[in-house]
Amino acid sequence: MSTLLIEGGHRLEGRVAVEGNKNAALPLLAACLLTEDECVLTNVPRIGDVEVMARLLLDLGAEVEGIGGTTLRIRTPRVTGHVPDRALVGRLRGSVLLLGPLLARAGKARLAPPGGDFPARRSISTHLDALFALGAREVAGPDHAVEAPAGLTGASMYLFEASVTGTETALLAAASARGVTEIRHAATEPHVVELCQFLTKMGAGVTGIGSSTLRVEGTSRLRGAQHHINGDYIEAGSWAVVGAITGGEIAIEGAREEDIEVVAAVLTRMRVDCGMRDGVFEVKPSKPKAIKRITTGLWPAFPSDLVSLVTVLATQAEGRTLVHDWMYELRLFALEQMSGMGADMFLADAHRIIVTGRTPLRGGRLLDSRDLRSGMSLIAAGLAADGQTRVTPLETVERGYSQLVDRLQALGAKVAKVD
């Protein structure tokens, strides 16, 4: 277990490039299991979660070249098992995406409870309901076990919630099912769109891409495909907010304007000088102002993955802000630790926090990064604080941010990784 030691109070300046979208890479890797042919993914983020998914594929019989790099080549002539490694599954929420491909290739799947952030509070019922609608049946026993010995059959389904990974599970299963599947109340995030595009390249017929109603014409013989993963707008937004929190000037490459717009809209309302110029998202030194309310929502609303970071930014904005994340119950709890740093925060309930700024932050506390996004937020708080801050475990944050320490140092942050 590692700790990030931070000497705060330094403005971040420079240029940073984001890699591929983490939330696109995981379902695309799972999709590679659907075919015997070779699939090639480029601009793959070099992060912990991607490595875990790649090793899960290896465990199931896939040949994976390039682990740890930005190009992965995956070929699975034969699936050798239907029970993904329990220890690896326990580290990755996205392991649930293997259920559909395993049903398609092996006719059965047994999955231990997926790990990741807030595992006890995140159900996979939407995933299972989608598989049951396509003809899978539950198998008695421990864990999540399903089978479809006669294959899956296209169906019409309404998702109880517009879950991103639930939609992706339905898409992955429907791509190799017999007939046509219609998925209503589907998630519309950019990474869901990328999965639809990849499945189309593999030979599935997908229409309605980008809308909440998807139609999938399945095929029993999906082919290999290549795909360049779009830049991670959540990572780009993270660097933008970190720049604003430290009063810095950062140029961020690799994100599409239509994706990062959801972040830029909130930053602009907070009087942060930012915008896309010649394909680069720039953040300049600003004096942020509070806005009455920031609420997360489904795409294209403000993403829950950035709510922790924007809450830290609110501590450095003049005035009072109500931050409301109705999607997750535990994401804001980790930020209570910032009260010990001098932040004026009132946790109203599991979903709402009231922040009064601008308050000087002081370091000197050991902060616990309980999940990936709050961990990055605590690092941002440490960068803005006077004195030293320790954030641990650093590995939690490195699950979603490639070469984090090196890139912070390149921007002028005084940080060090210690065991």
Residue bearing tokens 């799972």: 30
Round to whole Å and give the CA distance between 21 and 26.
9
Examine the pLDDT at 7 and tell me if it is beyond 70: yes
Superfamily of domain 22-228: Enolpyruvate transferase domain (3.65.10.10)
**Is the pLDDT reported for residue 194 higher than 70?**
yes
Name the 3-class secondary structure at 254.
coil
Our measurement of the distance from residue 170's CA atom to the centroid of its chain's CA atoms, rounded to an integer in Å, reads: 18
Among 49, 59, 117, 344, the active-site one is 117
- Residue 93 makes CB contacts below 8 A (sequence gap 6+) with 114, 115, 116, 117, 119, 122, 165
- Residue 51: its pLDDT value, please? 97
* β-strand partners of 71: 42
Convert the pLDDT of each residue in 273-291 to its tens digit: 999 999 999 999 999 999 9
Alpha-carbon distances of 256 from 74, 235, 273, 402, rounded to whole Å: 26, 12, 18, 19
H-run or E-run covering 146: strand 144-147
Spatial distance between the Cα atoms of 324 and 334, rounded to a whole number of angstroms: 15
Largest Cα–Cα separation, the chain: 63
Q: For residues 128 and 132, give the distance between their C-alpha atoms in angstroms, rounded to a whole number.
A: 6
CATH 3.65.10.10 in the chain is located at: 3-18+232-418, 22-228
pLDDT at 25 over 90: yes
Q: Would you put residue 248 in left (φ > 0), alpha (ψ -120 to 50) or beta?
A: beta
Distances (CA, A) of 249 to 13, 66, 240, 256, 386: 5, 34, 9, 19, 19
User: How are strands ordered across the β-sheet holding 3-7?
Assistant: 366-368, 388-392, 3-7, 414-418
Q: Is 117 a catalytic residue?
A: yes
For 45, the token pair is 């983020």
Confidence tier at 336 by pLDDT (50, 70, 90)? confident
Q: Which residues pair with 207 in a beta bridge?
A: 215
**Rounded to an integer, what distance in angstroms lies between the CA atom of residue 402 and that of residue 376?**
12
Kindly report the average pLDDT of the chain as a whole number. 95
Mean pLDDT of 340-358: 94
pLDDT beyond 50 at 33: yes
CATH class given for the domain over 3-18+232-418:
alpha beta
pLDDT at 119: 44
pLDDT of residue 160 exceeding 70, the answer is yes
By C-alpha distance, which of 225, 195, 199, 226 is closest to 210?
Answer: 195
Residue 418 burial (CB count, 10 A): 10
pLDDT > 80? residue 116: no
- In Å, how far are 8, 275, 335, 390 from 367, measured between CA atoms? 14, 32, 9, 6
